Structure formats: structure tokens, C-alpha cells
Amino acid sequence: MNTGGSVNIENPLGLLFLFILVPVVYAALRNYLGGKVFRSRLAGNPEGQEDEEFGGFFVRTFLSTFFFCLFLVFSILALADISWGTAPETEDRNGLDVVVVLDVSYSMLAQDSSPSRLEAACDIALGLIQGLGNSRFAVTAFKGGAVLAVPMTEDREILEAFFLNANPSVVNTPGTSVESGLETALGAFPAGTASHRAVVLLSDGESLSDFTGRAVEKASALGIPVFAVGLGGTQGSVIRLPDGKLLTDYEGRPVVTRQNVEALEAIAGISGGEYFSFREPGLISLLMRKLGDFEESRGKMGFRLVAVHRYRSFLLVGFLFLCASILIRSVKWKKK
């Protein structure tokens, strides 16, 4: 087990539970102030002056509440599922199944990749299909939604026919949702096959829908790397439609699109894949080599490295604090 590497929060939404501490601390404070008056009355002392016996109660109540809060904090950290380091997990597979996720949104018609981002993407896909002769491919096309355009197959004819004719009308839903493209891609690997699995994302990374990263995290958990190829420049380009007109927004201004490198790098990074720019020299060979290396390394080693989840350590500490909280209030403190 490798204990080095970066610390990741696998379930960041779990940290929202920290808000529970607000009513808990508020209740504890309110109770202390009210309880002080009550306790002094109970002891028959003047208002606000606590009996020595009740002073012990206060210390115990304070410590018990403090430990209970610490229990909550550590349990919530366990819920957030913090991970660091890697450990090997057996992976007995051979062969390679690749799902090509093709962005067919209108921004892919921008001509800052020659002849257009979409055609450049299709050329890359065709090169991969021809180059990786022993692999099976599936194709997912996405815009606002995603469709499984070609199921997992080794039939080169249909794959080539698809990429030679790909255009934005393949998908009807308007918008751009990389998330749904990746989600559909993960469902395109048929069950019961013993091949290594990878996703090749061909996109400019411009996502108009909310990107939550759930699909990428799912890919990472399944051991499916996403190799993201970014198309288009970062300077911005207008979108020329097939009829020659420029795509405009509702105010009539030309829509300018640019590659979102950060988004694509994040997708590749989280899933354990790699990001490539379409300008990379010998991109198709490089991609083929990376996919080949991925298949070979996993095949030779017979395992893959997975993140080590550390939730149990946090939960155990939290549990000890809870026990301490119970014991402090339950065991009577002897007076000297």
C-alpha cells in the first residue's frame, strides 16, 4: 500500500452535515445558561451562584457536550470519505473495449480546428479505430442529452460510417452536457465481458449544463480512465453553421466558443486518464500508445491501483469520543 499522494474528498456533499453542529452548539449554550439558574435554585443558593456539587455537573456537562461535538465532527469527516494513498486491486482482464464519447454540440462546428472541431474529432476517432485493430468500440454522441450511437462492436464498417457522417443533428436535445455523455458511455460497456475498459472523450469541454463530476467519479470507481482530447483554441471562435451563417445568441450577437482546458483536464485527472490537446504532434499515435500501455500494464500486473478510503479511522476516533461523552456523564465523580 502506498500511503503517499494527494488527499481526496470522495463525498464532499457529506461535509454539509457539519451544519448540524449549529443547532447542537446553540442548544448546548442555551441549556447551560438556563440550567445554571435552575441548578442554583435547586441547591437553594442565591440566583446565579451554583452549589459546589452542581459545579461538578457543569464541568461534566461541558466535557460531555464537547466530546459529543467532536464525535459529530469526526463522523461527518468519515461521511465525507477522505482518501489518500493507493492499494492494488486484482483485475483479471484482457483485450480492450473503448467507448468514444463524441461532442456533437454546435460549438464543435467552430473552425479553429481544421476543418472544424467536429471533423477533427471524427478524424481522430477514425485513426484510433483503424489503429487499434483488436479492440472493440462503442460510440456515444452528446449535446444536451446523449445517445448510444453505436453499441460495443468490432464491426469497423459501421464505426467508420458513423464518423464519416457525424453531425449535430445526431442528437436533438439542445445544449451541451458532458456529464450525460460520460454517463451514457459508462452504460455502453456490456456486462459479462473480461476486457479492459477505457473512454476517449472528444470535446471542446464547453458544458452549458451543470457538471457535477458524478459520472467521472463513477468511472474512477469502476477503474475506467477517461482520455480527454480537447478540441478548439482557447482564444475563442465564432460558430459557422452548415448554411454559412454565424450562430447567434438571442440578442443577435455571434456566439463565441473556446476550449475549456481546465474542465477536460479535471475529467481526465479524476478518472485516472490523461488530457491531450488536438494540437499535440502525432496525437493519434500518442493516444494509441497510451491506450495500448494502459491495456498492457493492467494485463501484465493483473491489478490496478485504487484509492484507499480512510473513513474508518475517522469513524473510530468519533466512536471513542462518543464513548467518552457517555462515560463522563454516566460515571459519578468522587469528591476528594
Contacting residue, 157, 210, 249, 251, with other proteins by CB under 8 A: 157
Backbone angles phi, psi at 223, to 5 degrees: 75, 30
Among 2, 12, 154, 214, which residue interacts with other proteins (rule: CB under 8 A)?
154
Distance CA 205, CA 258 (A): 9
The residues in 31-50 that bind other proteins, with binding defined as CB under 8 A, are 31, 34-35, 38-39, 42
Q: Is 72 in the site for other proteins (CB under 8 A)?
A: yes
Helix axes 117-131, 156-165, angle to 10 degrees: 170
State the Cα–Cα distance between residues 205 and 117, nearest whole angstrom.
12
Residue 31: CB minimum distance to other proteins, A: 5
In this chain, which of 14, 181, 225, 232 binds other proteins, going by CB under 8 A? Answer: 14
Stretch 128-147 residues interacting with other proteins (CB under 8 A) = 134, 138
Task: Please identify which residue in the block is written with the cell numbers 489518500.
Answer: 84
The window from 23-31, 174-182, 239-247, 281-289 that contacts other proteins (CB under 8 A) reads 23-31
Contacting other proteins (CB under 8 A), which of 55, 190, 236, 302? 190
CB atoms under 10 Å from CB of 52, counted, come to: 9
Segment lying near other proteins (by CB under 8 A), choices 13-21, 104-112, 279-287, 297-305:
13-21
Cβ atoms of 264 and 234 within 8 Å: the answer is no
Report the nearest approach of other proteins to the CB of residue 2 (Å): 20
Stretch that binds other proteins, among 64-72, 118-126, 199-207, 245-253 (CB under 8 A): 64-72
Rounded least distance, CB 239 to other proteins, Å: 32
| Burial classification of residue 85, based on how many CB atoms lie within 10 Å of its CB (0-12 exposed, 13-18 middle, 19 or more buried) | middle
Residue 194, exposed/middle/buried by CB under 10 A (0-12, 13-18, 19+)? exposed
Nearer to other proteins, 154 or 262 (CB): 154
Please, are residues 94 and 82 in contact by the beta-carbon 8 Å criterion? no
Nearer to other proteins, 246 or 316 (CB): 316
Q: Which of 8, 45, 51, 60 binds other proteins (CB under 8 A)?
A: 60
Is 166 within 8 Å of 117 (Cβ atoms)? no
| CB closer to other proteins out of 7 and 22 | 22
Tell me which of 50, 67, 78, 298 binds other proteins, using CB under 8 A. Answer: 78
Cβ 98 vs Cβ 140: under 8 Å: no
- Measured CA to CA, the distance from residue 214 to residue 267 in angstroms comes to 10
CB 176 within 8 A of CB 206: yes
Among 11, 111, 173, 209, binds other proteins (CB under 8 A): 11
Does 218 interact with other proteins (rule: CB under 8 A)?
no
| Structure-block grid coordinates of residue 119 | 471533423
CA 250 from centre of chain: 33
Exposure string for 88-100, b = 16+ CB within 10 A, e = fewer? eeebebeebbbbb
- Are the C-beta atoms of residues 163 and 125 closer than 8 Å to each other? yes
The one among 194, 241, 246, 301 contacting other proteins by CB under 8 A: 194
Residues near other proteins (CB under 8 A) are 11, 14, 17, 20, 23-24, 27-28, 30-31, 34-35, 38-39, 42, 57, 60-61, 68, 71-72, 75-76, 78-79, 81, 92, 134, 138, 148, 150-158, 188, 190-194, 309, 311-312, 315-316, 318-319, 322-323, 326-333
